[in-house]
């Protein structure tokens, strides 16, 4: 960013968004193999806004979500989380900001198998520095909200697929993040359970004013979000309602 006026405008726009990227580019490089995925992507997600990202297999949706979540470093451009420029932060500060400001839900739940549902949901609260009583209170409240108050002591292997995914949603929301990033969060569930988990995410996000960025192949679910974007041939484009 050579022009200071541009830099100030970018910082201003970032401050008004919970999540923003500008000029985002990613090219994977391994030895001589270079895989350009996209370049020059701009996206700004406002507080409470829900955004779907559609795109064919291999279009770069997971790559984009990883970069937005600070889990990988872009080869071009900038990501701002809660107004903070990710590239300006140390690894430790980036990790703290991620834990505090973002929640993640994946297609596979990624719950820790040796811990109970309650412990899994408490963990991000404890990592954020709160005490055990506070962690238990918040985790229990959210597990109740996702209909799992009767399964607090069950380990992931003792839960159904839908129950595991609901626990993963509770875990993503327990630190009251500004934004939840979902990578096909209902992709592994049957239609009815997918719809229940999706309703839960939307309901909890709206109650808490949390923004949602959701990668999905399911246009029917995407249509229920505020905005639908499509990643196609390295470009991100907002779709009109009748295109979804
Ligand atoms: N670590 C990596 N090294 C090299 N290339 C990669 C790497 N990760 C992903 N890619 C390539 O980048 C492109 C985008 O991958 P990505 O996983 O982001 O796509 P996607 O849109 O999420 O696909 P899907 O819908 O199938 O999950 C793909 O062509 C993939 O092969």
Q: Which of 13-22, 79-88, 152-161 has the lowest mean pLDDT?
A: 13-22
* pLDDT > 60? residue 132: yes
With a cut of 0.90, is the ipTM above it?
yes
Position 204 confidence tier, pLDDT thresholds 50, 70, 90: confident
- Percentage, residues of the chain above pLDDT 70: 99
Ligand 1 atom closest to the Cα of residue 33 is 4
Q: What is the per-residue pLDDT for 128?
A: 85
**20 domain residue, yes or no:** no
What is the extent of the structural domain holding 164? 48-73+87-243
**81 domain residue, yes or no:** no
Give the mutation target among 24, 28, 31 for probing the ligand 1 site: most ligand atoms within 8 A of CB.
28
In whole angstroms, what is the distance from residue 2 CA to residue 128 CA?
36
Q: What is the per-residue pLDDT for 123?
A: 94
Over range 155-172, report the average pLDDT: 92
- The 10 Å Cβ neighbour count of residue 147 is 14
Instruction: Write the DSSP string, 202-243.
Output: HHHHHHHT-EEEEE-S-HHHHTTSSEEEEEETTEEEEPPGGG
**134 domain residue, yes or no:** yes
Over range 152-166, report the average pLDDT: 94
* pLDDT > 90? residue 149: yes
In whole angstroms, what is the distance from residue 53 CA to residue 222 CA?
8
**18 domain residue, yes or no:** no
Partner residues linked to 211 by β-bridges? 179
Ligand 1 atom closest to the Cα of residue 55 is 21
Average pLDDT, the chain: 91
- The 10 Å Cβ neighbour count of residue 137 is 14
Q: Which of 6-10, 195-199, 230-234 has the lowest mean pLDDT?
A: 6-10
If you take atom 9 of ligand 1, which residue's CA is the nearest one?
63
If you take atom 3 of ligand 1, which residue's CA is the nearest one?
28
* Ligand 1 neighbours (beta carbon < 6 A): 28, 30, 35, 37, 55, 57-63
Distance 62 CA to ligand 1 centre (A): 7
Q: Say if CB 181 and CB 165 are below 8 A apart.
A: no
**28 domain residue, yes or no:** no
Give the mutation target among 32, 58, 183, 188 for probing the ligand 1 site: most ligand atoms within 8 A of CB.
58
**11 domain residue, yes or no:** no
Looking at the structure of the chain, the number of domains it has is 1
**101 domain residue, yes or no:** yes
**221 domain residue, yes or no:** yes
If you take atom 17 of ligand 1, which residue's CA is the nearest one?
62
Distance 30 CA to ligand 1 centre (A): 13
| 16 against 57, higher pLDDT | 57
Q: CATH number of the domain that 177 lies in?
A: 3.40.50.300
Distance 15 CA to ligand 1 centre (A): 30
CA distances from 117 to 28, 40, 106 (A): 36, 40, 16
């Amino acid at each position: 960013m050579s022009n200071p006026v541009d830099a100030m405008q970018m910082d201003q726009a970032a401050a008004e968004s919970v999540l923003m990227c500008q000029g985002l580019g990613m090219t994977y490089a391994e030895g001589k193999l270079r895989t350009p995925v996209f370049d020059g992507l701009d996206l700004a997600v406002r507080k409470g806004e829900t955004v779907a990202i559609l795109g064919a297999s291999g279009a770069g949706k997971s790559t984009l979500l990883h970069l937005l979540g600070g889990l990988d470093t872009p080869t071009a451009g900038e990501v701002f989380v809660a107004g903070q420029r990710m590239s300006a932060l140390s690894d430790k500060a980036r990790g703290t900001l991620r834990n505090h400001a973002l929640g993640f839900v994946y297609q596979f739940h990624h719950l820790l198998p040796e811990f109970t549902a309650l412990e899994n949901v408490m963990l991000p609260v404890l990592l954020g520095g709160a005490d055990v009583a506070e962690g238990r209170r918040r985790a229990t409240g959210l597990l109740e909200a996702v209909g799992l108050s009767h399964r607090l002591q069950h380990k992931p292997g003792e839960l159904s697929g839908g129950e595991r995914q609901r626990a993963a949603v509770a875990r993503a929301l327990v630190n009251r993040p500004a934004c939840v990033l979902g990578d096909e969060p209902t992709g592994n569930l049957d239609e009815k359970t997918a719809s229940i988990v999706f309703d839960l995410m939307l309901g909890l996000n709206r109650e808490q004013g949390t923004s949602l960025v959701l990668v999905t192949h399911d246009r029917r679910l995407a249509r229920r979000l505020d905005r639908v974007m499509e990643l196609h041939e390295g470009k991100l484009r907002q779709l009109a309602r009748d295109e979804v």
